[in-house]
Amino acid sequence: MSPDPALGLPAPALIADGVTVAYGDRRALDDCSFAVPAGSVTALVGRNGAGKTTLLRAAAGLLRPDRGTVTVLGGPPGDRALPRIGFLAQDSPLYRQLSVAETLRLGARLNPGWAADHAWELARAAGLPLQERVGRLAPGVRARLALIMALGKRPDLLLLDEPLAALDPVARAESVRALMGAAAGGTTVVLSTHAVADLAGVCDHVVVLDRGRVRAAVEVDAALAGHRLVNGAEADLPALDGADVIELRRAGDGFTALVRVAEPVPAGTLAWHTPNLEELVLGYLRGRDGAA
């Protein structure tokens, strides 16, 4: 995916081109290719072990693919790109002996572009105990602080590995709003998550990974408009002959199918409706191989 000079489109913030990473005999990533548009909020979704963390680590320059290339912000991951990239690992690494306030001040010393006012504002809005040591914080509070540290850097590309996993529903909603604010400010956000429902209306692109392979890499609105869920009786299944069926599930005398089609096909008792984001993602994870 390349920019179109005639349209004035920016280059993608992240490009994976045939990326393969193996640990012994197991391929964590297997010929992965996709592009993340600049300024987007892109969700990486998949089962445990799908390759999400490996992909984020490759984008952050923490590992080198066995084959293929990763391009971030127009060049290879590494020292030159590092000041423009924010990366938050799943274990929320922080200095446990420091207080919350000391952690925020450390962020200012370590990052030339640190947005101090923004970071302190996020910490106060989250109700973080500024004088409490990080090691004494509850896991969810510590994860919230780690996300604030990533946002305080004001990176051009923000890579987040399961940033919502340890958060309660209220904290998740507030963190999602903070990510939306970062994207509105020009930061490209790429996050792995299991909480697909929390990202409805937030992420504009999604990459579905399954056993190290890309099953779908799509713009959300276009993908939802281009797929339908269809319910019907077993006797109506022939109406789907020739259709691009992503997933088919039978239950009793009926079935439910995810179909890639712009317009429903009227037939018998078939009922068609537009899927939501979670239904779309689950269909690709449970259905046949292939990329949209």
Supply the DSSP string of 70-136, one letter for each residue. EEETTB-SSTTTGGGEEEE-TT----TTSBHHHHHHHHHHH-TT--HHHHHHHHHHTT--TTSBGGG
Q: What is the average per-residue pLDDT within 71-89? A: 87
Q: Which of 163, 188, 218 is the last residue of a domain?
A: 218
Picking from 164, 163, 167, the residue whose alpha carbon sits closest to that of residue 138 is: 167
Q: Are residues 133 and 201 in the same domain?
A: yes
Domain count, the chain: 2
Phi and psi for 288 in degrees, rounded to 5? -75, 165
Question: 54 or 163, which is more confident?
Answer: 54
Within a domain: residue 291?
A: no
Structure tokens at 243: 């259709």
Q: Are 212 and 51 in contact (CB under 8 A)?
A: yes
Half-sphere exposure of 219 (CA within 13 A, CB side): 7
Residues 75 and 197 in one domain: yes
Residues 64 and 207 in one domain: yes
**Domain range spanning residue 258?**
226-286
**Which position has the higher pLDDT, 184 or 42?**
42
Q: Is residue 292 part of a domain?
A: no
> Which pLDDT score is estimated for 4?
46
Rounded CA gap, 92 and 89, in Å? Answer: 6
* 212 and 85 co-located in one domain: yes
Q: Are residues 31 and 128 in the same domain?
A: yes
Quote the tokens at residue 220: 């959300």
Both 157 and 280 in one domain: the answer is no
Is residue 136 in some structural domain? yes
Do 254 and 129 lie in one domain? The reply is: no
**Are 86 and 102 found together in one domain?**
yes
pLDDT in tens, 177-222: 888 888 888 999 999 987 787 777 788 999 999 999 999 999 999 9
What integer pLDDT is reported at residue 8 of this predicted model? 52
Give the percent of the chain with pLDDT over 90: 58
User: Of 58, 73, 62, 75, which is closest to residue 18 (Cα–Cα)?
Assistant: 58
pLDDT digits (tens, 9 = 90+) for 92-131: 789 999 999 999 999 999 888 899 999 999 999 999 999 9
Q: Are residues 202 and 183 in the same domain?
A: yes
Does 121 share its domain with 250?
no
Is 100 inside any structural domain? yes
**Residue 91 banded pLDDT, cuts 50, 70, 90:** confident
**Is 13's pLDDT higher than 50?**
yes
Is the pLDDT reported for residue 267 higher than 70?
no
Q: Which amino acid is at 187?
A: T
Side chain identity at residue 65, one-letter code? P
Q: Which of 166, 198, 218 is at the close of a domain?
A: 218
Closest alpha carbon to 262 in 221, 226, 218, 220: 226
Please tell me the least confidently modeled range out of 211-215, 258-262, 278-282: 258-262
Angle between helices 116-125 and 100-110 (to 10 degrees): 160
Is 8 inside a domain boundary? Answer: no
2 falls within a domain: no
Sheet with 188-192, strands from edge to edge, namely 85-88, 157-161, 188-192, 41-45, 205-210, 213-219
Domain-embedded: residue 103: yes
For 73-82, 213-222, 273-282, which range has the lowest pLDDT when averaged over its residues?
Answer: 73-82
What's the confidence (pLDDT) of residue 291? Answer: 40
Q: What percent of the chain has pLDDT over 70?
A: 92
Distances (CA, A) of 210 to 140, 178, 179, 230: 28, 28, 25, 24
Residue 179 lies in a domain: yes
Would the pLDDT of 290 be above 60? no
Q: What is the mean pLDDT of residues 254-273?
A: 80
DSSP class of 202: T
Asked if residue 87 and residue 176 are part of one domain, the reply reads: yes
Q: Quick one: 127 and 255 in the same domain?
A: no
**What is the CATH classification number for the domain harbouring 29?**
3.40.50.300
Report the pLDDT value the prediction gives residue 279, as an integer from 0 to 100.
92
* Residue 71 backbone zone (phi > 0: left; psi -120 to 50: alpha; other: beta): beta
Final residue in a domain of this structure, among 171, 186, 218: 218
